Structure 1
Amino acid sequence: MCAPPTRIVVTGGPGAGKTTLLDALAAAGHACSAEAGRGIIRDQAALGGPGLPWRDRELFAELMLCWEMRSHRMATGITFFDRGLPDIIGYLRVEGLAVPAHVHAAAREFRYAARVFLAPPWPAIYRTDDERKQPAELAERTCEAVADAYAEHGYELVELPRLPVAERARFVLDSVEQ
């Protein structure tokens, strides 16, 4: 019989090195789940779709919800997640939008490992691009909002050190092995 999946989340504000860390973990052979937001933005932009955060924030949140629930179900073994369901709660709050009851229900139902890694704001590496349009100040507020959402849902937040990616990856792997 297979062991149940272990789903490990790396969260934080935009531009704090989460995706770079997950890419390094994937390159080292670890299973990783891609970030919903960037994937949705790429897909919707390619299709001329309405589900972009600068067009319809509520639809964007619903698309992220679907993506994250599917990613959660597809996980096997140890899987590292670039964000998770409580991130959607943080996103909605930072945007000044109501959090629907079904989003809270999903965050309660689809659980991750108790320890969640938080990438703090890191001004030295923060950059905007075609998918990340938020100013640094909004990225910091997002970090606070997602941290609050995870804490409210009973997760232990472990702040990632601001180190080169290989050392950050080692920190995460050492913490997971404990």
Structure 2
Amino acid sequence: MNHLVVISGCSGGGKSTLLAELARRGYGVVDEPGRRIVRDELARNGTALPWIDGAAFARRAMSLAHADRAASLQSGDWVFFDRSLVDAAAHLQQLTGEPVLKSLAEPRLYHRCVFLVPPWPEIYETDPERQHDFTDAVAEYERLLIAYPALGYGIAVLPKVSVAARAEIILHMLEG
């Protein structure tokens, strides 16, 4: 069974907070490639940023997500990813029209069930690393609702409940 689990969905929907809760419980977590790229690009005045060169950003996110996955394969326990290679490929495909998602169809790279956080306007915030508005975040979520099932993944949309309750739902579904 694939032990690499993706938590994805709407930007600002609570993914990072949920991953922090899973890490607190002792599970391996992998931070979102996009945030790491944005921090790096901002620190060095780079241009591979979603609001400057979205395609370069998405290509770099794909590369980083691929490396993250490869580095996590040896773990025997659950490893939780804040977004995945699929997210980056869906973004690149949306920007350029390149059919990059097709290359990810087989074999399945992550656990068969992907957990999505839905749009949650009450907690959505922009910051220096997340400059897009809520409408863009919802559009991103809707693309992922299509992309993951098209690649054979099942989707579990997490309810708008506490972080601890979301973690329990995920762990219960994985263990059941």
Shared fold (TM-score, shorter chain, > 0.5): yes
Q: Does 2:78 align with 1:81?
A: no
What residue ranges of structure 2 are gaps of 5+ in the alignment? none
| Residues 116-169 of structure 1, C-alpha deviations (whole Å, 9 max, x = no match) | 001000111111111111111111111010121111100000010110101111
- Residues 45-84 of structure 1 correspond to what in structure 2 (within 5 A)? 45-75=42-72, 76-77=75-76, 78-84=78-84
Residues 47 and 109 from structure 1, CA distance in 2 versus in 1: closer, same or farther, beyond 3 angstroms? farther
- Corresponding residue number in structure 2 for 1:97: 96
Contact in 1 for aligned 2:59/2:92 (Cα 8 Å): no
Give the Å deviation of 1:5.
5.5
Contact in 2 for aligned 1:20/1:165 (Cα 8 Å): yes
Contact in 2 for aligned 1:89/1:149 (Cα 8 Å): no
- Extract structure 1 runs of 4+ deviating beyond 6 A: none
Give the Å deviation of 1:100.
4.5
What is the percentage of aligned positions where both structures have the same residue?
36
Residue 89 of structure 2: SS of its match in structure 1? helix
Give the Å deviation of 1:64.
0.4
Give the Å deviation of 1:28.
1.2
User: For residues 136 and 50 of structure 1, what CA distance do their matches in structure 2 show?
Assistant: 23
Give the Å deviation of 1:89.
3.0
Amino acid at match of 2:85: L
User: For residues 50 and 105 of structure 2, what CA distance do their matches in structure 1 show?
Assistant: 21
Q: Does 2:127 align with 1:136?
A: no
Residues 104 and 44 from structure 1, CA distance in 2 versus in 1: closer, same or farther, beyond 3 angstroms? farther
- Corresponding residue number in structure 1 for 2:115: 117
User: For residues 152 and 108 of structure 2, what CA distance do their matches in structure 1 show?
Assistant: 13
Residue 96 of structure 2: SS of its match in structure 1? coil
How much is the aligned-residue C-alpha RMSD, in angstroms?
1.6
Give the Å deviation of 1:50.
1.9
Amino acid at match of 2:52: R
Residues 61 and 108 from structure 1, CA distance in 2 versus in 1: closer, same or farther, beyond 3 angstroms? farther
User: For residues 146 and 89 of structure 2, what CA distance do their matches in structure 1 show?
Assistant: 9
Q: Does 2:171 align with 1:168?
A: no
Q: Does 2:149 align with 1:151?
A: yes
Give the Å deviation of 1:86.
1.3
Aligned residue pairs total 173
